[in-house]
Structure 1
Amino acid sequence: MKERLRNVILFLVPLSLLFAVVFTLLRVYEYLAGGAVFSAQYEALGFLYDWPFAFSLILFVVAFCMVLALLHTGVAKLMGVVLYTLLLIIAFALIQYFSVTGVPLSADFFGYSFQDIGITVGASGVSILTVVSLVLYVGLFIGGGLLLQKSRITANLSLRGAVIMLVLIAVTAFLPLRPAHEQFEKEIDYNLVLNKSQYFFGRSVSYWREGSALDTEGTKAFVPGTYPFLKKADYNNVLGPFLDRSEERPDLVFLIIEGLGRDFTGPGARYGGFTPFLDSLAGKSLYWKNGLSNAGRTFGALPSILGSLPYGRNGFMSYGADMPDHQTLISLLKAQGYATHFFYGGNPNFDNQDLFLQYQGIDYMLNESNFPATYKRATADSDGFTWGFADRDVFRRSLEVLDTMSRSPRLDIYLTLSTHEPFRAPEARFAAMADKRLQESGWDEETRSRYAEYKDVFSCLLYTDDAIREFFERYKRRPEFKKTIFIITGDHRLIPVPQDTRLSRFHVPIIIYSPLLRQPETFGSMAVHSDIMPALLGLLRSEYGMKFPEKMPFISKTLDVKRELSATLDLALIRNKGEINDYVDGLHFLSEGRLFQITPDLGLEPVRNDALQHTLQEKLQLFKNRSVYAVEHNRVDTVASGHKLQLFTFTEHEEKFIRGHGLKDLKPDELFAKARALAFEKKRDDSRIVLRVLLNESPNYHDARILLARTFAWDNRYDTAHFFLAQVIERAPAYGDAYNALADIEYWKGNHGQSLTLAEKGLLSNPEDPELMARRARGLWMTGRKEEAKKITEAVLQKWPQNEVALDLIKKLAP
């Protein structure tokens, strides 16, 4: 046994030192990946801080491998190489994330599904240079390790020398060397110095530890059955004095702009000049220059703006089909006769937006699955990724849709996409405009050069701003414009461009514009997204006699209309999923345990006041306890929206199958893969159970509903198959695969003319779809039009030689 331990120690010590060298050299890649924006000074300081953490990782690996050495020497050595390689890959990935976003990855990683993570990674893109760099670092470690094993250094290393080295490593690992937040004036400088792996691992431990504490301790502060946020609603009409009363109930139009931080728009914006239309609109509106988002990412925008709802653990919408009973502007106004619409160019499954909106009974949702063929998806990046349809197309299509709808008044909600990674403005002219604005910025040469790194971001801001300008020009020609109130804000401040303070991430403009406005006003008072709903309900109740519930679970008050800097805020903010570490109380801000005074333009100055800091920490913990309890125990509201999601139910036998296969622990894509495999193994009943579980979690996972329909069609249960396919087409009228399935069913039933009609109907929205083209050819052949069928089949096979329907058909068409 002693010989085993000696052998492993002598192997691991040189390898560990090599790991430490390669691990710290990752700083070089971080600096180069950051371009001109990342400071060499702070990267060099971070390099010094990296060593103690690298040594702490070494202690973990060595200790683990020494235990394995008691069982098998070879396994222990191999595990050492594997663990060090894995740690290097993780460290590289975390640095790459930071180089793209400008913020280190935190425990919010655990708040997203694998599907959502895949979409986000796809948006950022991975270049060849990134892959080559990773291979070089891993190759340096593995190649260096092989050379070390053959070198004299390893051969001459004694056990005593190895132990001394381990002792020195341990001493260094436990040195209290870690950057202190208060040492850095700017948030970006602190983030640069941080070791990204140390930050991620530390946050992850805190996330799981705090989650466990909330489970065991959080509910003790409440009497079972109570509703922590539910109280008598104060419908104070703060907006009424600024708006004329229209003869009819007003239309409400929300424009929630991706990443629109205050740093980019309005007078005095740090990166101003790239939203000229919104800048001018702010001067004609009620404008809160010190607005805040409740959340640091998009997941919190809809629940906060439309519902003033608590966050729970990872954001309200993260609970999916398990969201508690609640009401929002959508359900409240729908009950008063409003038509409700949501317009978005992307996939509404992301962050469970579709579930949230369907729960409220939204009347219509525009999303990437129901755009007509006349619209083209936004230009993809080099990896083929695109979020969906560009903002200008969303605005144009929305007006076409509204032209077909006669109901009024309306609540229309827009969520934009184009100011998001990978920051590719759909129209090339905006890149030249961004160049021109940079030259005219008034920045010195060094600053201009540094921020030229973000020209793509500024191009997208210019594009979206122009799309909004066009939208307003068209809307002004509509008869309902004169009675419309527009609410414009950012979902959060976009992340990649460096942020000065911990509050910058939340700092967004809040703009209310309307032809009913008596005169524009600019407010210096702080306001938050969750103030918007109470303010609008107060206006509608006082000016238009609309009735709303006596009690509501608002997490904040209403919009403050003071012209000077002031604040009535008293609530927590959620920076990332699973991270509620920020609290605003009046003009004081607690973040990561540090206390700040909020200054004009939402600057931060450190404050030393132990009593106040302790009070805010207690408030923060109480808010988290209340929030998790209310959301996870269905204690948000006593009244449901009236549109509970229609979920599949399961028999006792099916529940046993679900538990036995751990289906509740799988993500939607994993469930779909499992269901497909079961279906192709002809275990269709089992496949249907999996698909029903999936659809309870993601009802707009159209491919799952189509597969469910096909499993019934394969058993000749055509009516049931038609039922589920009709649901897909109702949700996404242009979804090509639904028409493929319908065409197949009619073909199997012998209704060849109807099969042809369905394929042609699908092609109206998807003219380049090879599956629909092949099915059209099959329908033509079956209805006697063989020459047309042959021509189309050959065209399909020329571009898609593996198309199964076309391959089968070409054999039948052969003379």
Structure 2
Amino acid sequence: MIKKHIKGTETCKSRYLGLTYFGLILVILFRVYESLTLYQLFNPPKLWKSEALGLMQDIFLCFGVFWIIYPIYRYLFDHRGRSKLYLFEIAVVFFVVAHIAILEYFFYQMEPLDVFLFGHKTNEMMFSLNTSGLSFKRLFIILLGSILLLTIGIYYYKRIQFTTKYFEILRWLGVAGLVLFIYLDLYGKFPAASDLIKNKSFYFYTNILKDRSKKFFEPSIEEWAPRYQQEFPDRKYIDPKFPFLHEFETDEKLGNYLQSFDKAPNVVILLTESLSEYFIHPIRGMHFMPFLDSLSKNSLYWPNHFSLGERSFAANPAISASVPYGEIGFSLMETYPYHFSLINVLQRNNYFCSFFYGQGAWFHNKKHFFNFNNIDRIIDKNSFSNKFKKIEVGEEKNFWGYNDIDLFEQYIESTDSLRNKTRLDIVFTGTSHSPFILNDPEYYNSRFQKDIEKITKPEDLEHFQLYKKYYQSLYNVDDAYRLLFDSLSKRSDYNNTIFIITGDHAMTELPRLNAINPYKVPLIIYSPKLKQVQRFEEICSHNDIYETLLSYLHNKYNITIPKFSSALGNKIKFEKEFNNKGTYAFMNNNRQIVDIYSDGYYLFRDKYLFKVYKDFELREIIDRDIRKKLRNKLYAFKAASQMACYNEALMPDSLYFNFTMHTIIKSHNYKDSIFFQTSDLVLDTLKIQNANHFTLDLSCTIQSEISAFPHVMIQAIDNEGKIIYNNELEFPYDKNNYQFHENIIIPGINSTYKLVLYFKNSAKDAFQFQDLKWTLYSK
């Protein structure tokens, strides 16, 4: 019996050693694959040194995992039968395939994947994947090779008898390896690229665990939201229940720099994809955007301007409405609270408001955001003229959108008949975004080669060759702007227009200059009516545009604006000298609010503290008092942001409807109420007289099977019982929480009729939902 037990123990150790050796081989091979692929794609600085250090840490990690997992393996071997050990083999296969996917993301973005994955909708991820230019051939080869290697390894590791003589020594090496790995991961400082050194899978899994676990320890909304007004005391607040709501003060300085217009001016916001501030100036002897550089020198220009998010989702709501971020970014929320924006405020003053986008407006929820603000029209890739060339990407020719030159030409055509109408136009470019497809590749390649001949420093040549496709896209964007302004300058409405040009965020594909650089974008305000050109060094942000514009238009052209504001920003600052005053919270790439700037200090990832100097140069410092001060502001802002977005604490609905002059016909809010039903559920039957144009906002949280969930029915029935209008709204199958914003137009009505709203349960299955809120209103 003892001999049998000893034999079983030796067999267990031998097999576990085989599995460990196999894992070690996989770790080494994948690090080699990572190094060679990076060399082929980018050849980043310090590649080989970084990857060698990374391999060393990978080996330490492998030995550490060997030590941690062995007791589980031994238990299964002794008590659950050897057949249960297939779980380890399945785990190896899973982690290998996952590691390949995680590496592919790193090759695409040059930064490790983490909780960013869970901040994206499935359709957005698939669209990005299909239009990324990913090499499916390379992916297929590495997957095929990995499966072959796994098959061979799993077959042989159980059949080779490995000596167990040094098993205990290897276990102690596992302890030492784990200690060394943890120490180097937390405290190691090497003359190498930290993102390259990291084991990408370990980084991914540990960050997910950190993100999920911190929700149990982070400060509560109830504790911190009431502290917002204390931490940000520079406003005349109205009510602690609405942390951001304050009096709208209309002092501004923009009017000092503009001559009088004949009437209230058009406002054209040109939001430029991935426009880092330094792009519009010469870079290492290359000049990619000479037109925008020249325009900035003939405009009001702010080089120290913040975007509030590391991705595009943050820019539209910040510029248009200066709204809080919620938990994942305001525009990405499925249910919006009523809020003021440039769109609905200027519409109240007879502005015609449009959004132009060369890609699909569904991306990052742009369509839902602008429709909820009752924008007059959206022109995206699905409504372009047939004369423009579609950009199709990948082997399956996925329709990505249109080049910026075509976008601007479509914009010119679409506004040509509206020259005499006062307008707000928001135009979002896309050429400087993956897949970086150029309008004329041969021309821009030739231009790039001609310009690069002037470069003499080897490190600069290497840099530009490495990031060639990104820099070439800037040529194209700059040419698009030059052609746009050339065309607009010939139109009669040009002299009655204010142009605002900024970036949605800095370009993420290029190396970060420092921790704050991803948020630094230019701000250019130009008009033919400028009194003078000026460069302003003081810090401001996208959130400051909303109140600045409305204050200017109110003071100079008497437009009607709300008495109260829930804007995060204040006013754009017009100081010529650098001033580090101001507080700005950011949402990073992972939809986390962990970065904040305040009065010359920058807290990065809620951990690292920097002193900020002119031109946003950073120096890391250790100061517990300042870090605590910034953390207090960060936690208060984050809590207030979530409270305002999800607890109906942005502003009272009545404030919104009173200003927009919408008449509420009926409204119900069943917050926290749960509905359980097995038949149709009638929400209301309304008697309507001589009105035929309404808007219905309806939202709820679905708690039963979505595929069988009832549809929302809107029916108009005349006095004879005839259905004269029928509209059926279907909840998307992939969303548990959704908000309809439906315009209802009932034709040919000149008498009294009934309007019926109900859930139609065709399947007759039980369904359940909660937090139903619906409002029916008319202008």
Shared fold (TM-score, shorter chain, > 0.5): yes
After TM superposition, which residue ranges in structure 1, 4 or more long, deviate above 6 angstroms? 1-6, 643-647, 654-657, 692-696, 698-701
Q: Distance in 2 between matches of 1:540 and 1:629?
A: 31
Superposed CA deviations along residues 458-504 of structure 1, whole A, max 9, x for unmatched, are 22111111111111111111111101111111111111111121111
How far apart are 1:73 and its partner, in Å? 3.3
What are the Cα deviations for residues 770-789 of structure 1, in whole angstroms up to 9, with x where unaligned?
A: xxxxxxxxxxxxxxxxxxxx
Deviates more, 1:414-423 or 1:94-103: 94-103
8 Å CA contact retained: 1:111, 1:318: no
Structure 2, unmatched stretches of 5+, are 227-238, 682-700, 710-727, 743-759, 763-779
Q: Which amino acid aligns with 1:201?
A: Y
Tell whether 2:104 aligns with 1:96: yes
Q: In the alignment, which of 573, 581, 584 is matched to residue 560 of structure 1? A: 573
- 1:531 corresponds to which letter in structure 2? D
Cα 1:456–1:330 change in 2 (3 A) is: same
Q: 193, 197, 207: which one pairs with 1:193?
A: 197
Determine which of 655, 659, 682 is the counterpart of 2:703. Answer: 659
Are positions 1:289 and 2:307 aligned together?
Answer: no
The 3 A distance-change label for structure 1 pair 145 and 688 is same
> Which residue does 1:208 correspond to in 2?
212
Which range moves more in the overlay, 621-630 or 334-343? 621-630
TM-superposed CA distance for 1:52, in Å, is 3.4
Partner-residue secondary structure (3-state), 1:104:
coil
Q: 1:33 and 1:663, CA in 2 relative to 1: closer, same or farther beyond 3 A?
A: same
Work out the number of aligned pairs and report it: 673
| 3-state DSSP of counterpart to 1:311 | coil
CA distance in 1, matches of 2:9, 2:422: 78
Given candidates 572, 582, 596, the residue that maps to 2:585 is 572
Look up the match of 1:334: 347
Match of 1:144 in 2: 153
Distance 1:586-1:349 versus aligned 2 partners, 3 A rule: same
1:130 pairs with one of 139, 162, 175: 139
**CA-to-aligned-CA distance 1:25-57 (integer Å, 9 cap, x gap):** 423233322232242222222222223333455
**Partner residue in 1 for 2:60:** 52
Could you tell me which residue of structure 2 aligns to residue 812 of structure 1?
none
Partner of 1:73: 81
C-alpha deviation, 1:605, in angstroms: 1.2
Q: Secondary structure at the match of 1:313?
A: coil
Distance in structure 2 (CA, Å) of the matches to 1:596 and 1:172:
32
> Any idea what the Cα deviations from partners look like across 1:659-700, whole Å, max 9, x if unmatched?
3325699xxxxxxxxxxxxxxxxxxxxx98655886984879
Residues in 2 aligned to 1:195 and 1:226: alpha-carbon distance in whole angstroms: 46
Kept after mapping to 1: 8 A contact 2:392/2:400: no
Partner of residue 409, structure 1: 422
**What residue ranges of structure 1 are gaps of 5+ in the alignment?**
666-686, 702-711, 715-815
Residues 252 and 484 of structure 1 are in contact (CA less than 8 Å); yes or no, is this contact kept in structure 2?
Answer: yes
> Residues 181 and 190 of structure 1 are in contact (CA less than 8 Å); yes or no, is this contact kept in structure 2?
no
Identity %: 25
Counterpart of 2:503 in structure 1 is: 490
Alignment partner for residue 529 of structure 2, among 510, 516, 519?
A: 516
**What is the deviation of 1:253?**
0.5
Which residue matches 1:302? 316
Question: Structure 2 matches for 1:630-709, cutoff 5 A?
Answer: 630-638=644-652, 639-640=655-656, 652-653=677-678, 659-661=703-705, 697=738
1:733-760 deviations in Å (ceiling 9; x for gaps):
xxxxxxxxxxxxxxxxxxxxxxxxxxxx
The CA distance in 2 between the partners of 1:489 and 1:664, in whole Å, is: 45
Structure 1 CA distance for aligned equivalents of residues 188 and 551 of structure 2: 42
Task: Say yes or no: does 1:240 pair with 2:286.
Answer: no
Q: 1 CA distance for matches of 2:734 and 2:458?
A: 58
Change (3 A) 1:360 1:688: closer
Is 1:623 aligned with 2:637? yes
1:621/1:244 CA distance change after superposition, 3 Å: same
Q: Which residue of 2 aligns with 1:531?
A: 544
Q: Is the 8 A contact 2:586 2:595 kept in 1?
A: yes
In structure 2, the partner of 1:83 is 91
Aligned-partner SS, 1:150: coil
Query: Residue 173 of structure 2 aligns with which residue?
Result: 168
How far apart are the structure 1 equivalents of 2:739 and 2:456? 48
1:37 aligned residue: 44
> Are positions 1:157 and 2:160 aligned together?
no
Alignment match, 1:465: 478
CA–CA distance in 1 between the matches of 2:679 and 2:508?
Answer: 45
The 1:420/1:50 distance shift into structure 2, 3 A limit, reads same
Task: Report 1:749-764 matches (<5 A).
Answer: none
Please give the alpha-carbon distance, in whole angstroms, between the structure 2 residues aligned to 1:347 and 1:654: 37
State the match for 1:727 in structure 2. none
In structure 1, how many angstroms separate the alpha carbons of the residues matched to 2:475 and 2:19? 51
| CA distance in 2 between partners of 1:17 and 1:271 (Å) | 51
- Partner-residue secondary structure (3-state), 2:95: helix
Answer whether contact 2:284 2:460 (CA < 8 A) is retained. Answer: no
Normalising by the residue count of structure 2, what TM-score does the alignment of the two structures yield?
Answer: 0.79
TM-score (structure 1 length as normaliser): 0.76
Residues in 2 aligned to 1:453 and 1:654: alpha-carbon distance in whole angstroms: 62
Q: How large is the Cα RMSD of the aligned pairs?
A: 3.4
1:21 aligns with 2:25: yes
Q: CA deviation at 1:617?
A: 1.9
Taking the TM superposition and a 5 Å limit, the aligned residue runs for 1:726-737 are none
In the alignment, which of 178, 181, 184 is matched to residue 178 of structure 1?
A: 184
Q: Which amino acid aligns with 1:483?
A: N
2:90 aligned partner, one-letter code: V
Q: Write the deviation string for residues 411-463 of structure 1: whole angstroms up to 9, x where unpaired.
A: 000111111112221312112222223333x3512331233122111221111
The answer as to whether partners of 2:15 and 2:157 remain within 8 angstroms in 1 is no
CA contact (8 A) 1:126 1:383 kept: no
Instruction: Rate the CA distance shift 1:629–1:688 in 2: closer, same or farther, 3 A.
Output: closer
User: Are the equivalent residues in 2 in contact too, given 1:291–1:510 (CA < 8 A)?
Assistant: yes
What is the aligned counterpart of 1:105 among 113, 123, 126? 113
SS at match of 1:228: coil
Q: Secondary structure at the match of 1:387?
A: strand
- Counterpart amino acid of residue 184 in structure 2: R
- Aligned equivalent of 1:597: 611
> Cα 1:695–1:632, aligned 2, differ >3 Å: closer, same or farther?
closer
Partner of 1:318: 332
Mapping of 1:707-718 within 5 angstroms? Answer: none
Which structure has more helix as a fraction of its residues? 1
Does structure 2 retain, via aligned residues, the 8 Å contact 1:556–1:569?
no
Q: Do the aligned residues in 2 keep the contact of 1:265 with 1:278 (CA within 8 Å)? A: yes
Deviation at 1:623, TM superposition (A): 1.5
AA of the residue aligned to 1:319: M
Letter in 1 for 2:179: F
Residue aligning to 1:771: none
Q: Partner letter of residue 19 of structure 1?
A: G
Aligned partner of 1:438 in structure 2 is 452
Moved more, 557-566 or 455-464: 557-566
1:376 is aligned, of 381, 389, 392, to 389
Once the two structures are TM-superposed, the CA of residue 398 in structure 1 deviates from its matched residue by: 1.6
**Offset of 1:285 from its aligned partner?**
0.8
Give secondary structure in 2 for the equivalent of 1:376: coil
User: In 1, Cα distance between the equivalents of 2:740 and 2:444?
Assistant: 38
Q: What code does the residue aligned with 2:703 have? A: R
Q: Counterpart of 1:116?
A: 124
Distance 1:700 1:174 in 2: 55
Counterpart of 1:707?
none
Letter in 2 for 1:94: I
The answer to which of 558-567 and 219-228 deviates more is 219-228
Q: 1:698 to 1:418 in 2, by over 3 A?
A: farther
